[in-house]
Amino acid sequence: MQVLHVCSELFPLLKTGGLADVAGALPAAQIAEGDDVRVLIPAFPDIKKGIGETQLVGTLDTFAGHVSLLYAVYQGVGVYLIDTPGLYDRPGSPYHDQSSNAYSDNHLRFALLSWMACELACGFDSHWKPEVVHSHDWHAGLTSAYIVARGRPAKTVFTVHNLAFQGLFFAHHLAELQLPADFFQMHGLEFYGQISFLKAGLFYSDHVTTVSPTYAKEITQPAFGYGMESLLLERQNQGKLTGILNGVDEAIWEPKTDVLLSARYSADDLRAKSINKTYLQRAMGLDVDDSRLVFAVVSRLTSQKGLDLVLEGLPELLEQGGQLAVLGAGDAVLQQAFLAAAADHPGQVGVQLGYHEAFSHRIIAGADVIMVPSRFEPCGLTQLYGLKYGTLPLVRRTGGLADTVVDCALENLADGTASGFVFEESTGKSLSNAIRRAFVLWSRPKHWRHVQHHAMGIDFGWKVAAQAYKNLYQRL
């Protein structure tokens, strides 16, 4: 089956979040399962530079200017690049300038991504035409709307990675985007008087997926739906909303082969994990002591991620003799609070602001517990990396966290299914109770090793997701 993925990020070339990891791993896994899969992405500077040599597929004039469509094969996956320098050749992130302000023409920049996906569905590349166009998040949300407007030349799937980001733009842009005027209505892409790129994907696609089964249920409720819950409930009732869990790219995240680590290790021989722990303690300015329980945070520092709860639980963590290593950036208040904690507790709290892919591997390998206390979490990859590396996740029971981590309750320890620590409420007290349970298990090394061994053996490879998507495409 010929499948086109439409997205705005691609690991390892360009990454701001988990979307890039999915776009970088899922197509290759699908190719391994026998599908003919390609990716469409804007020719952002990092993408163009990383892809290297390309060939010209064709050119055309669009509402957003003159476009050259390029093609290359990158790490075994065919990639189309939309080369329009006036729109994409800019410093900063794909979405914001260097002052973190959204580009004023984002409606054009990302509508063009969807427009070109539709052009490919209509046969723009005379050598390859997708049967299924699979678009991701709001940046590609108009894809299905354009395809419907052109008579449905391909089946469409839209994946929501995070419903909180919706791609809202003024209604007067509709004519500029060359969409039919009657698409701007409640049963269409209109959302409280604005154009919603996200709603376009939810409404016009043949099928909607999310990145975990629990998140697919949660987003039909007002607490998680961001105003889209009624539409999503309708799609669920139609049998057109599915949760398919993300996977881990084992070519990148595998402690037996990870060249970024100080020492490599496996579930059968965990001795070298302590070498990574010593490296982490030294790198973060923590007291070097293998007996201390090291908790880690690798995250955007935002309220959504529940990092304020970590600060509330920090006294309990330190009182029990634990250490905390933090890597991340985001909310200025949270950044300052973590820096202040490091200053107040030298040797016990270490903080590095920013994000470094290589260092994230070393933290996850060196820590004993990885904390993901999110208020909502569509899938979460950090806890999956923790499981893979024998670094037990401490998570809140929501979204993909609920689907992937089994609490170290007595009954789960007894039957061998326990893999981490799960708490229920978004409160510091609930998180502190989970911290205490982590220390109880840490005091029983034999039980801790047993849970580690089980966690590292759970299969979260992309093959399972690739097969689930294949089945979905075939049904469509």
Q: Cite the annotated binding site for ADP-alpha-D-glucose by residue number.
A: 15
Are 273 and 265 a contacting pair, CB within 8 Å? yes
> Count of H helices and E strands in the chain?
19, 18
Helices (H), 63-189: 85-88, 106-121, 143-149
In sequence order, what DSSP letters do the residues of 181-244 get, joined into one string?
GGGSSTTTTEETTEEEHHHHHHHHSSEEEESSHHHHHHTTSHHHHTT-HHHHHHHHHTT-EEE-
- Enter the tokens of residue 224: 């998680």
Binding region: 15
The CA distance from 190 to 256, in Å, is 50
Give the type of residue at 473.
Y
- Enter the tokens of residue 441: 């298990």
In three-state secondary structure terms, 343 is helix
Q: State how beta strands 155-160 and 207-210 pair.
A: parallel
Q: How big is the CA angle at 157 (ends 154 and 163), to the nearest 5 degrees? A: 145
Q: How big is the CA angle at 288 (ends 282 and 294), to the nearest 5 degrees? A: 90
In three-state secondary structure terms, 332 is helix
